[in-house]
Each structure stands twice: as structure tokens, then as C-alpha cells.
Amino acid sequence: MNGVLGAAGLVLIGYLLGALPIGLLVGRLSRGVDLRQHGSGRTGATNALRTIGPAAAAAVALLDVGKGLVAVLLARWLSQAGPAGSAEWVVAATGLAAVIGHVRSVFIGFRGGRGLAPFTGAMLAALPLTVVILLPLFVAVIWRWRFVSLGSVVVAVLAPVVAGLLSLAGQGSQGAVALAAGGAAVVTLAHRDNIARLRAGTERRLGQ
């Protein structure tokens, strides 16, 4: 796929992949539960953990990561550069569209999750070293403070920094840095209510 229409088609495919409401489907199939009616109302793994248990939450997390991963790999496979280097920007836009689709899914009234899982999948496909570096920090923040939202925001904000440094070291592309920056913005905005509760001291810790 090449040209403007081909690029737009890939971005649309990325959005639709991201918009698949995995958490909603897993909740309904495993427990007959609509995640939108419980907890935070989000369809991501954290609300799934609190609502339908760890096994179902793990399935939601893995499948949501897979949405971002598949979107980027599919775009990389199908896109053909017009102007030199344009394919990497199409790939980045497709990965970002998957994150946006997860947060604002057309299938469930433009609701969804917080976006970290598909963002992780997209970065795994685009620049896996970013995830390798930040995953231990994510785990450490949650282990120390027991706030999933805090861990999510910290690694999201640091993703473009790490991606940029890796790019300067010759380990990544400008497209991957752009994906990291765009994904970080979407994930952080999706956590704005969590950030407000963290500042107010009312955010729920993991296990509450």
C-alpha cells in the first residue's frame, strides 16, 4: 500500500485494531460483566483486575498489547515508501492510531482504556529496547507505591526520552521517537483524572 490513500487506509486499520474492546469482550465472556459499569469504567487490564480477577486481566493485558504490536507490524509489512523514508512515518501514525483507538473506541461510544498496553505493543514492534529499559521501572514504581496509574504515567513520559536517546545512539528511527512522543501524550491525557487523584491523595492503590 502506498500513496496518501494507502497511508490513510493503514492508519484507519490501526485505529480499528486499537478500538477492539478486548476488555469488554473478556469481561462479558468470562463473567458476564460489563467493565464500563464497574470500578473506573475503563476497559483496560487494571479495571479488569479489580473487577473480574487476575487471570482475565492478564488475558486483557496481553491482547491489548497485541493490538499495538500487530498494528505496527502490519503497517511495516504493507507500507511502501513514496518519498524516501515516508514509510516509517506511516508506521508511526498507524501505531499511534491504535493507541487512540483503544482510548476512544468507536465500537463502544468512544470510551475505552488508558492506552498503556497498546502503546507498549506498538513500541515493542517499533523500538523494543524502549520497553526493555522501561518495564523494570514500571514494575518498581508499582511495587514501591502500589499505584498502577503512577507507574503508567512515569513510563509513558519517559518513553520519548528513552526512544530519543536510543535514536541518537543509532538504535532507533525518528519515526519511533515520534510514535513514543505521540503515544506518551495520549496515555498521559487518558490518566488526567488519575493524576488529579494522585495529587489529592485519593487515588486507589493496587489491591484496594
Mean pLDDT over all residues of the chain?
Answer: 94
Predicted local distance difference test score (pLDDT) of residue 173:
93
Mean local confidence (pLDDT), 125-141: 98
C-alpha cell at 99: 493507541
Q: What is the dihedral of CA 6, 95, 34, 207, to 10 degrees?
A: 180
Predicted local distance difference test score (pLDDT) of residue 133:
98
Mean local confidence (pLDDT), 131-140: 98
Predicted local distance difference test score (pLDDT) of residue 80:
62
What is the SS3 assignment for 65?
Answer: helix
DSSP string, 82-140: SSTTHHHHHHHHHHHHHHHHHHSBGGGTSB---SHHHHHHHHHHH-HHHHHHHHHHHHH
Indicate whether 78 pLDDT > 90. Answer: no
